[in-house]
Amino acid sequence: MKHVILGTAGHIDHGKTALVKALTGVDTDRLKEEKERGITIELGFTYLDLPSGIRLGIIDVPGHEKFVKHMVAGVWGIDLVALIIAADEGVMPQTKEHLDICHLLRVKKGLVALTKIDLVNQELLDLVKEEVTEIVQNTFLKEAPIIPVSSTTAEGIPHLISTLDHLAKEAGEKTADGLCRLPIDRVFIIKGFGTVVTGTMISGSLSVGETVEILPSGLEGKVRNLQVYNQPVEKAVAGQRTAINLQGIETSAIERGDVLVRPHTLTPTQMIDAYLEYLPGSSRPLKHRNKQRFHIGTTLSTASIFLLDREELTPGESGFVQLRLDQPIVALPQDRFVIRGSSTIQTLGGGVVLNTHPDKHKRYFSSVIQDLNLLKDGSGEQILRQHILHSGMGGIILGDLSNRVELSPKEVQSILKKMMEKGDILSIDSERMKVIDIAQYQQLKEMALIQLKEYHQRFPMKSGLAKEELRTKLPMKVDVKLFQMLLHDLIQSKEVVLEKDKLRLPGHQISSMGEKGLVKRVEEAVLKGGLQPPSSKELSGEWSEDEERIRAVLEHLDHEGVLVKIKSGMYFHRVHLDHLKEELVNYLKSHQEITTPQFKEITKVSRKYMIPLLEYFDQIKLTLRLGEKRVLRSTP
Ligand X SMILES: Nc1nc2c(ncn2[C@@H]2O[C@H](COP(=O)(O)OP(=O)(O)OP(=O)(O)O)[C@@H](O)[C@H]2O)c(=O)[nH]1
Percent helix, percent strand, percent coil in the chain, to nearest 5: 35, 30, 35
For residue 103, the tally of other CB atoms under 10 A from its CB is 17
CB of 56 vs Mg ion, minimal distance in Å:
18
Residue 348 β-bridge partners: none
Nearer to Mg ion, 70 or 256 (CB): 70
Phi-psi sector, 563: left (phi>0), alpha (psi -120 to 50), beta: beta
Choose from Mg ion, ligand X, none: what does 256 bind? Cβ within 5-8 Å by kind: none
Are the C-beta atoms of residues 570 and 578 closer than 8 Å to each other?
A: no
Nearest Cα neighbor of 179 from 334, 69, 55 is: 334
Point out which residues bind ligand X (CB under 6 A).
12-18, 38-40, 62-64, 115-116, 118-119, 150-152
Are the C-beta atoms of residues 239 and 1 closer than 8 Å to each other?
A: no
CB of 167 vs ligand X, minimal distance in Å:
20
**Torsion sign across C-alpha atoms 383, 389, 392, 396:** positive
Nearer to ligand X, 66 or 235 (CB): 66
Do β-strands 109-115 and 80-86 pair in parallel, antiparallel, or remain unpaired?
A: parallel
Angle in degrees, 0-180, between the axes of helices 607-619 and 574-591, rounded to the nearest 10: 70
Are the C-beta atoms of residues 573 and 527 closer than 8 Å to each other?
A: yes
Residue count at the site for Mg ion (CB under 5 A)?
3
**Residue nearest ligand X (C-beta atom):** 63
Nearer to ligand X, 150 or 163 (CB): 150
Choose from Mg ion, ligand X, none: what does 150 bind? Cβ within 5-8 Å by kind: ligand X
* Distance of alpha carbon 236 from alpha carbon 227, whole angstroms: 8
Cα dihedral 598, 599, 604, 609, rounded to 10, equals: -140
Nearer to Mg ion, 17 or 290 (CB): 17
Choose from ligand X, Mg ion, none: what does 65 bind? Cβ within 5-8 Å by kind: none
Q: With CB under 5 A as the contact rule, which of the stretches 10-18, 273-281, 532-540, 569-577 interacts with Mg ion?
A: 10-18
CB of 147 vs ligand X, minimal distance in Å:
12
Nearer to ligand X, 88 or 429 (CB): 88
| Angle ∠(537,539,541) on CA atoms, nearest 5 | 70
Nearer to Mg ion, 16 or 504 (CB): 16
Interface residue with Mg ion, options 3, 5, 17, 471 (CB under 5 A):
17
Choose from Mg ion, ligand X, none: what does 28 bind? Cβ within 5-8 Å by kind: none
Choose from Mg ion, ligand X, none: what does 64 bind? Cβ within 5-8 Å by kind: ligand X
Nearest Cα neighbor of 11 from 146, 112, 104 is: 112
Are the C-beta atoms of residues 166 and 240 closer than 8 Å to each other?
A: no
Q: With CB under 5 A as the contact rule, which of the stretches 13-21, 261-269, 494-502, 628-636 interacts with Mg ion?
A: 13-21
Q: What are phi and psi of 529, to 5 degrees?
A: -65, -20
Q: What are phi and psi of 502, to 5 degrees?
A: -115, 140
Choose from ligand X, Mg ion, none: what does 118 bind? Cβ within 5-8 Å by kind: ligand X
Nearer to ligand X, 29 or 79 (CB): 29
Choose from ligand X, Mg ion, none: what does 136 bind? Cβ within 5-8 Å by kind: none
Choose from ligand X, Mg ion, none: what does 406 bind? Cβ within 5-8 Å by kind: none
Choose from Mg ion, ligand X, none: what does 298 bind? Cβ within 5-8 Å by kind: none
Q: With CB under 5 A as the contact rule, which of the stretches 11-19, 148-156, 175-183, 463-471 interacts with Mg ion?
A: 11-19
Do β-strands 269-278 and 318-329 pair in parallel, antiparallel, or remain unpaired?
A: antiparallel
* Distance of alpha carbon 484 from alpha carbon 579, whole angstroms: 47
39: helix, strand or coil: coil
**Is 16 a residue that touches Mg ion (CB under 5 A)?**
yes
CB of 225 vs ligand X, minimal distance in Å:
30
Stated length of the chain: 636
Q: With CB under 5 A as the contact rule, which of the stretches 17-25, 251-259, 598-606, 609-617 interacts with Mg ion?
A: 17-25
Q: What are phi and psi of 313, to 5 degrees?
A: -105, 120
Q: What is the largest CA-CA distance in the chain?
A: 122
CB of 18 vs ligand X, minimal distance in Å:
3
Nearer to ligand X, 63 or 77 (CB): 63
Nearer to Mg ion, 69 or 581 (CB): 69
* Distance of alpha carbon 92 from alpha carbon 329, whole angstroms: 33
Nearer to ligand X, 72 or 416 (CB): 72
CB of 60 vs Mg ion, minimal distance in Å:
6
CB of 23 vs ligand X, minimal distance in Å:
12
Nearer to ligand X, 70 or 630 (CB): 70
32-61 residues in contact with Mg ion (CB under 5 A) are 40
Q: Which residues bind Mg ion (CB under 5 A)?
A: 16-17, 40
